[in-house]
Structure 1
Amino acid sequence: MKSLFTTLLLGLTLAFYVSGSVLNAQSLDTAFDRFAQIYQQELGSTQGCQEPKLQEFAVCSSALRGDGNAPYILHHGKPTDKVIVLFHGLSDSPFFLRSIAGAFHLEGYNVVVALLPGHGLLNADADMQDSELANRWRKRVADISELAINLGDSKYIGGFSTGGALATEYVLKQPGEYKGLLLFSGALRLDSTVETLANVWGMRWVAKLMDGDYQTAGRNPVKYPKVSTYAALQLVDVISSVREKIKQKSVLNLPIFVAHSQADATTLIQGVKDLMAANQGQNKFFEIPLSENVCHADLVISDTQLQDMHYDMSNLGEVEACSVPQANPLHTAMIAAAITYLNEN
């Protein structure tokens, strides 16, 4: 009788385990299928990546400048207790979030790194002059947020630069959906001249003329040579939306992690400080001193990323400050602070 009972117990345990494994696999497959579908619709066609990696689901395409620009999901073969959704910045690509996403993945979390519309492309001229570009970014955030529920129990959202602004706008519009917000060089305030020009009548038409035939090829294979002026004005619309919601006393009550450099002349640090002041939840601020001279785009770059970027350093000549990528000397400490934030919240 005891032997029969043991056999039945083992059988039930095995059935439960197999059933759970199947459900986990189905949950991930649902997320992967939707992730691939989003980019098939946008890029026209997708293909296998040249160097597929373990525990990574990436969507590559001949429409992209290269596989380094591809969106990806770092996973553990099953839903995890937390899933982190990240978005990159204006003119760059998911590559810039590689070190951050990789560190979170090593902590045991599933991580989604999306590609925003108009980015990573061989030809981005039409996208960078699209009057609906900001709304397309917003839809991408919403679509990725929807599929992320299949990857983890608690969702966290964040991003670098423009990606951070979009993530902030989303949590203000959808309070309660995400458990936390992570901002890296969050674009919540630009130079006052840029923001003022954005409100001048006819400036968007002028911006298109200034951009001309928007070029995507340059020294950096994972970033466009320059920021589209027209797209930057679309970013100002997102920033204005964030400010308006804060002004309307929209409830912001969640743990926020912020990493920002005092030397950042692209997205001014006061923007993230204003957000933290309005937040009713706990803030964790990794503020990089002015003396470290960390430029805006360099905050997210590690030494390994800098090597993997394959930036063309030939015949550079005299260069402007912050025009050539450098690794953030405090990158390791920044990642450690972000991981502590996730583990505590």
Structure 2
Amino acid sequence: MKLPRVLFWHCLLIMCGFYTSVFAQSIESEFDKFDQIYQNELGSTQGCNQPELGVFRVCSDVLRNDGNAPFILHHNKPTSKVIVLFHGLSDSPYYLKSIAQSLHQQGHNVVVALLPGHGKKNADMDMQDYALSDRWREHVSIIMNFSVGLGQDRYMGGFSTGGVLATEYMLLNPNQSKGLMLFSGALALQPNIETLTKVWGIQWLMKVMDGEYTGQGDNPYKYSSVARFAAGELMEVINSVRNIMEDKKPNMPIFSAHSEADATIPISGVKDLLARNLGDSEAFFIDEKLDVCHADLVINQQQAEAMSNDTSSTDISLSCSGPSANPEHANMLKAVLSFMSQH
């Protein structure tokens, strides 16, 4: 029998000798709020199979497994800096695990959200929802508003699609975050895909081509393919960011990590953002000769070993069979920690 979520944390903290000193400024009530957000999104939540000290994870029977669940890495109290991260299209919070852990070890509370339509056993309706991009945006706003209770200064960022959603939010809400972190940030798609998304009625055609979308595959933390329809929704967000920047140049601290060999998300998009940015920009670009694929940028060896990959399906955007650990992962983490310590 699983302990109720709040009771579990009480017992664990007492066992570790932290209760008296920590709960005077506890963020325990924030865990219930986080759980409620995902009850609303997923329909139901439940206790996780393997609770961890310092981790609050919201699990659900709707999700493929607990590794797809959103989570908070916390210090049992508000911290001076809070970091909110969003994952990419077709993947899950697991992809940001090693980055989140590194930021948490630096002393920050870290929130890793689950975007609508992701991590599910059945994602067909979500990945063909004409309101999908707006649902992503709404969720980003909800999570950012929630994060106020976890500390003083907020920072945000994300991997791939999560990166462009964070960029759009910061451009529209410049006073809500102190800095932006992008990992393979989806600020552009391949030219042929961008051209295709401009064709009238293409979203309907993509929906037909996707058929009954199923994300089930060998990788337990990522759908087996990217839904064409959802890629069109991503392009809508990218175009929104471009339109916003035409009216007003970004002015914020930005850290961007990207592989020059990325065949899924061209590096040109983030280079354009950094060139336009009036604030402090820091780039960690991985040399093309290392051939680091798009999704591999954010994963270390431990994550790579925990995944397997379904290569039986053809994806319109992914050219790498993966997953493989980023050989520059450790140096990338040093760079992002340096960025955080300076801003």
State the Cα deviation string for residues 130-163 of structure 1 (Å, max 9, x = none). 0000000001100000011111111000000000
> Normalised by the size of structure 1, how large is the TM-score?
0.90
Is the CA contact (8 Å cut-off) linking 2:28 and 2:76 kept in structure 1? no
Alignment partner, residue 333 of structure 1: 331
Is the CA contact (8 Å cut-off) linking 1:306 and 1:326 kept in structure 2? yes
What is the CA–CA distance in structure 2 between the aligned matches of 1:321 and 1:329, rounded to whole Å?
19
Alignment partner, residue 146 of structure 2: 147
Alignment partner, residue 243 of structure 2: 244
Residue 33, structure 1, aligned to residue 22, structure 2: no
Q: 1:189 to 1:312 in 2, by over 3 A?
A: closer
Alignment partner, residue 274 of structure 1: 272
| Structure with the greater alpha carbon radius of gyration | 1
Cα offset, 1:209, TM superposition: 0.8
Cα offset, 1:21, TM superposition: 5.1
Is the CA contact (8 Å cut-off) linking 2:87 and 2:93 kept in structure 1? yes
Cα offset, 1:29, TM superposition: 2.8
What is the CA–CA distance in structure 1 between the aligned matches of 2:74 and 2:337, rounded to whole Å?
17
- Describe the SS at the equivalent of 2:84: strand
Which letter maps to 1:291?
K
Which letter maps to 1:287?
F
Alignment partner, residue 290 of structure 1: 288
> Normalised by the size of structure 2, how large is the TM-score?
0.90
Deviation above 4 Å: which 4+ runs of structure 1?
18-23
Is the CA contact (8 Å cut-off) linking 1:257 and 1:285 kept in structure 2? yes
Cα offset, 1:216, TM superposition: 1.6
In structure 2, list runs of 5 or more residues that go unmatched. Answer: 1-18
Cα offset, 1:215, TM superposition: 0.8
Give the aligned CA root-mean-square deviation in angstroms.
1.8
In structure 1, list runs of 5 or more residues that go unmatched. Answer: 1-17
Cα offset, 1:20, TM superposition: 9.3
Alignment partner, residue 8 of structure 1: none
Which letter maps to 1:262?
E
Alignment partner, residue 87 of structure 1: 86
Number of equivalences: 321
What is the CA–CA distance in structure 1 between the aligned matches of 2:25 and 2:140, rounded to whole Å?
24
- Describe the SS at the equivalent of 1:183: strand
Alignment partner, residue 307 of structure 1: 305
Alignment partner, residue 170 of structure 1: 169
Alignment partner, residue 261 of structure 2: 263
State the Cα deviation string for residues 165-221 of structure 1 (Å, max 9, x = none). 000000000011100000000000101111111111110110001111101210101
Residue 200, structure 1, aligned to residue 196, structure 2: no
Cα offset, 1:23, TM superposition: 5.5
Alignment partner, residue 106 of structure 1: 105
Which letter maps to 2:259?
S
Is the CA contact (8 Å cut-off) linking 2:87 and 2:115 kept in structure 1? yes
